Each structure stands twice: as structure tokens, then as C-alpha cells.
């Protein structure tokens, strides 16, 4: 029983465990990035041994969320920069 909890076979391949891979690849990520990336890795690594296509679709769902978070951040960054430029231009008009 302990092996199925601590070291499930569907999370092991080539002497590596998925949790170790996730920890290595998410060390420098913020919490939400680490969550999304960890789930993508988990589902991709286990799909052939566990739930097949369903796991790949779950991985895609988390990847889409990660991409969406970056797209939102880019849009917010663009809007912030745009506002700063407009504010600076407006300031010049009144000087």
C-alpha cells in the first residue's frame, strides 16, 4: 500500500519520479505558474500508464490556463505602459 501512495508506478519512468521533475522545473516559478506547470508535467508523464487521452486533455487545460495568464499579464503590462505614455503626453500639454 505504501508504494502506491508514496511511489505510484504511473509516476515513475527511467529511474525518475514525476514529483522530482516537477520540483526541479518549478523552483523559480511563482505559485500559480508552478501549479499549472506541475499539472501539465504530471498529466503528460502519466497518460500512457493511467488515463490516456483524458490525461492529455487535462494537461492541455492546465497549459491553456498558463498561456492565458501570460496573455493577461502581457495585456495588463501593455495597458499600464500605454497609460504612462498618455499621462506623460497629457502632462506636456498643460506645461
What is the pTM assigned to this prediction? 0.72
User: Which residue did the predictor score with more confidence, 34 or 77?
Assistant: 34
11-33 in b/e burial notation, b at 16+ Cβ within 10 A?
bbeeeeebeebbeeebeeeeeee
Cβ atoms of 37 and 22 closer than 8 Å: yes
Q: How many CB atoms lie within 10 A of CB 47?
A: 18
Strand partners, 12: 17
Model confidence at 84, pLDDT cuts 50, 70, 90, reads: confident
Q: Could you tell me the three cell numbers for 54? A: 483524458
**Cα–Cα distance between 75 and 63 in angstroms, integer?**
18
Predicted confidence (pLDDT) at residue 53 exceeds the cutoff of 90: yes
Amino acid at each position: 500500500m505504501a508504494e502506491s501512495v508514496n511511489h505510484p508506478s504511473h509516476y515513475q519512468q527511467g529511474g525518475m519520479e514525476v514529483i522530482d521533475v516537477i520540483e526541479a522545473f518549478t523552483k523559480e516559478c511563482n505559485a500559480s505558474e508552478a501549479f499549472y506547470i506541475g499539472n501539465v508535467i504530471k498529466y503528460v508523464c502519466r497518460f500512457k500508464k493511467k488515463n490516456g487521452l483524458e490525461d492529455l486533455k487535462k494537461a492541455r487545460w492546465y497549459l491553456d490556463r498558463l498561456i492565458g495568464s501570460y496573455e493577461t499579464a502581457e495585456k495588463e503590462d501593455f495597458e499600464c505602459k500605454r497609460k504612462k505614455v498618455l499621462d506623460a503626453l497629457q502632462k506636456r500639454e498643460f506645461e
